[in-house]
Amino acid sequence: MEPDSLAKLRQALRTKLNSLEPMLTPAFEREPLLPASVHTSRHRCGKPWCHCANGGDLHEAVRLQIRFEDGHSNRCVSEEEAAFWRPRTDAYRRLRKAARSVRKWQKEVLELLDKIERARRSVEGLSEEDRKRPLR
């Protein structure tokens, strides 16, 4: 490989390095968090005489879904309660997103390190016989 491509690989590595710090910002936040999400569900209540059964608007409920080690819980909360939980579930979501980004980042950096290793390889000084053997 030409030194030109090695320079490009190093530049790519520097770019990766610079992208790491902003990626980790959520880890420096102080917001308490809860592994949960707040969402609005729309449903039919099941009463045949209700407007929801005849093409009218569905019933809406704000739900807090908490992720426990052994499963989820899903319960209805008021708007006031949702306002309390939302900053915590948002903080959780940001941190999980950061973790996913870092995992992808790590994979890409490892690939770059492999490419840099290949670009810097030299068989100089090896015997004729060893030169014929593929390197690891």
- Which residues are at the interface with Zn ion (CB under 5 A)? 45, 50, 52
The kind and range of the H/E element at 13 are: helix 3-23
Q: Judged by CB, which is closer to Zn ion: 23, or 52?
A: 52
Tell the smallest beta-carbon distance from residue 43 to Zn ion (Å). 8
Q: How much is the CA Rg of the chain, to the nearest whole Å?
A: 27
8 A C-beta contact, residue 115 and residue 98: no
Q: Judged by CB, which is closer to Zn ion: 27, or 45?
A: 45
Encoding tokens for residue 59? 């019933």
Tell the smallest beta-carbon distance from residue 46 to Zn ion (Å). 7
Tell the smallest beta-carbon distance from residue 60 to Zn ion (Å). 11
Q: Judged by CB, which is closer to Zn ion: 57, or 129?
A: 57
DSSP SS3 for 100:
helix
Strand 59-68 versus strand 36-43 pairing type: antiparallel
Q: Judged by CB, which is closer to Zn ion: 50, or 113?
A: 50
Helix axis angle for 79-120 and 3-23, nearest 10°, is 160
Tell the smallest beta-carbon distance from residue 63 to Zn ion (Å). 17
Encoding tokens for residue 54? 């005849």
